[in-house]
Structure 1
């Protein structure tokens, strides 16, 4: 998932958690954030 920049990825994760966009999508974003070594 290299389509998003790090900033876009964190923003998408925060938006998904805030608006409850589904557990699978949130989990996928969280795994990618951890893989990249970022901190949401």
Structure 2
């Protein structure tokens, strides 16, 4: 995976969830979001 900024990572995760892409890709992104301590939910 390319090195992404926090904002890019969250955007990629949201986009993958919205489009219903490959479950493995979504899981990989979600794990990275959690590892960085980010919250992908919009407020």
Q: What is the match of residue 5 of structure 2?
A: 5
Mark the runs of 5 or more structure 1 residues left unpaired by the alignment: none
**Unaligned 5+ residue runs, structure 2?**
none
Aligned pair count? 40
State the structure with more CA Rg.
2
- Larger helix fraction of residues: 1
How many Å separate the matches in 2 of 1:20 and 1:5?
A: 22
TM-score after normalising by structure 2: 0.87
Q: Specify the SS of the correspondent of 2:25.
A: helix
Q: 1:24 to 1:12 in 2, by over 3 A?
A: same
The CA RMSD over aligned residues, in Å, is 1.3
What's the TM-score, normalizing by structure 1? 0.93
